[in-house]
Amino acid sequence: MKDTFFWKKRTLNCDGEILLLDEPLVMGILNVTNDSFFDGGKYTDEPHVVARATQILEEGGTIIDVGGASSRPGATPVPQEEELARVIPAIKAIKKEFPASIISIDTYRSEVARQAAGAGAAIINDIAAGCLDKKMFNTVAELQLPYIMMHMQGEPGTMQHQPQYKDVVLEVFDYFYERIQQLQTAGVNDIIIDPGFGFGKTLEHNYSLLNAVGEMQQFGCPVLVGFSRKSMINQLLGTTPAQALNGTTVLNTMALQKGANILRVHDVKEAVEAVKIYTFAANNS
């Protein structure tokens, strides 16, 4: 890990809409897939997509994260044409109903990112941080949209097959350092980092990274965390994804206390409540 510190980013330019990061934000998940681990198959037509977007916004979510290819452990890759056929109509439907909404596109493909931006997406959320599509960094630089880059060891189909690190925190930090440098060289201005909880990590790896969220502030980039109903809760508590809301809220609160800027969640209302309580307490300490 390099001993380098960056200026702390406090705004995101989302295609002309400025998002302030003075307080933590909530990103609501909208998976237009059939096989996501928690909500697969719920939002596969326009009325259900719009209803979910409405729910996210009404419950206080700031960003709607649209994904058309499941990245759950063991997931089979979706052809690009199918991913596009899922996400582009969804993005257009949301923007038609809510023109001012801020949509992120959850994809590791540069062409999907490009077409999604053309349809109205204003943030690129890449689980592979450019590792699965070498054109991604240049595409994001051309689009000049905020870029969320996540750490993942391997790829979804194999990432949970005995992941190994000598030092998970050190290796993830070095990964971010190197890729932030590459992105800045390419001309990307707004970079968000995501430790990738559950993506090529054991239970112990995940909690080591949770404990290091505070140290991630040194990169000067907003930090996004995604714990929502994941196995790092269920393995520990013996719960299922359907039973993991309480565990999710606990982890979200811990991450907020360590300086996380964006919570990516299925349950927007509960995450917004956690942010409100945390923010009020922090302002009255």
- Annotated catalytic sites, by residue? 230, 264
* Residues listed for the chain: 285
In whole angstroms, what is the distance from residue 238 CA to residue 248 CA? Answer: 14
In whole angstroms, what is the distance from residue 65 CA to residue 260 CA? Answer: 18
DSSP 76-123: PPPPHHHHHHHHHHHHHHHHHH-TT-EEEEE-S-HHHHHHHHHHT--E
Q: Are 278 and 24 in contact (CB under 8 A)?
A: yes
- What is the CB neighbour count within 10 angstroms for residue 108? 25
Residue 148 is which amino acid? I
Structure tokens at 22: 């003075």
